[in-house]
Amino acid sequence: MSGSSRLDHARGFRQKVRSPDEVCEKPYVPMLTGVLDDCLCDIESIDDFNTFKIFPKIQKLQERDYFRYYKVNLKRPCPFWADDGHCSIKDCHVEPCPESKIPVGIKAGSSNKYSKAANNSKELEDCEQANKLGAVNSTLSNQSKEAFIDWARYDDSQDHFCELDDERSPDAQYVDLLLNPERYTGYKGPSAWRVWNSIYEENCFKPRSVYRPLNPLAPSRGGDDGESFYTWLEGLCLEKRVFYKLISGLHASINLHLCANYLLEETWGKPRWGPNVKEFTRRFDPTETKGEGPRRLKNLYFLYLIELRALSKVAPYFERAVVDLYTGNGHEDAESKALLLDIFRDTKSFHMHFDEKSMFAGDKKGAKSLKEEFRLHFKNISRIMDCVGCDKCRLWGKLQTQGLGTALKILFSEKEIQSLPENSPSKGFQLTRQEIVALVNAFGRLSTSIKELQNFKILLQQTR
């Protein structure tokens, strides 16, 4: 076996020997196999687990009222460079949800009935904090309500992995995620490239002397094909390798969504959306991407494992009676929570989870400093999402980034989650409704990506 063949085999993907005509004319899908790097889980197990257990249930959960309405501010200015102007393509547009369509229990102020007048600023602040708690049923006792206010005040003061939108801002609007699906909008070019370039070049712990594969700004290095980049990456500590893989996996997942939900044609104003095999091949074929496509797809699986682990770890938080997915519709709320808990049981049954305890495990001072650096880099990426010029791309970028940030928050809060009180809120750990919605929908997007990858494999086999 040649050196390059052994390297391909170790990376876990096989390439069938093809004739020159096949290379030129027939698209090819990388056959991802084997164990992922930095964890003890194989791709085939994830495929089966996602297809038969997770995907059908997470799809149903995302259709529930509690999870389909997401409040987001799409008008926040880009904090890093002058605004390029918003995309004028019609498919970039996001249609906000009329206030009348929002379930009564989700609207701010309707899930906690505080009727006493606020005579001073502290009482007004307390009322506003109470109004923000959209996940809390109005049947809570006064003592519990006061505890939730303290809980919210604590949450406002703690450090997050994401730059959270102020839901009280007049620019924040509810969006029905089912009516604004993530798909290819036509948004591309320098503006879109600058967003991802800024994420990779300035926030992934990479020195400027090291160039990513396929970076058009990289100097010509002959037959390197990115090997120097991966030599550098493997020399990093686990935490920084994980960070890069999470971002690369998120990027791959988003690209998969765009390929799977592509505008194929538009006749008499009626668009037809569907999978675009040619676009998928351009983005992920090993020949088209100089071997980079399979690596990106493996990072998608790695990201799936991270968020799957977070769901299994946060289950005790939702298993408590005090946490209610409150919309005002008691029957649907009970069904939604039952379905969510069913998904948690499935996540716990998975036997090859990523072990987050291997991260930040060095000396306490160094580990704390690295963890803070990790958090700040990711928080910066969440801010870059406000620089995306396409509103629909910005919506889904912000949601999936916040979902991943929430997953990281969960993984690094194990002690706080284990010590949660059964019948009252905890000041040590809490999730806002916005974080819960983002967490579930972000994982739903990853589950969909892996399912779509299976669909593309079938489509590509049919074209051979």
The residues assigned a catalytic role are 390, 393
Tokens describing residue 6: 């052994």
Distance set, CA 252 to CA 26, 32, 304, 316, 445 (Å): 22, 14, 12, 31, 11
Torsion of CA 426, 431, 432, 438, to 10 degrees: -170
CA-to-CA distance for 356 and 307, rounded, in angstroms?
11
CA-to-CA distance for 71 and 172, rounded, in angstroms?
6
Q: How many CA atoms lie within 13 A of 275 on its CB side?
A: 16
β 69-73/31-32 pair status: unpaired
Long-range (24+ apart) CB contacts under 8 A made by 112-117 are 112/136, 112/138, 112/140, 112/145, 112/148, 113/138, 114/145
Question: What residues are designated binding site for FAD?
Answer: 183, 185, 196, 248, 251, 283
CB 432 within 8 A of CB 409: no
Q: Which of 388, 416, 454 is nearest to 92 (CA)?
A: 388
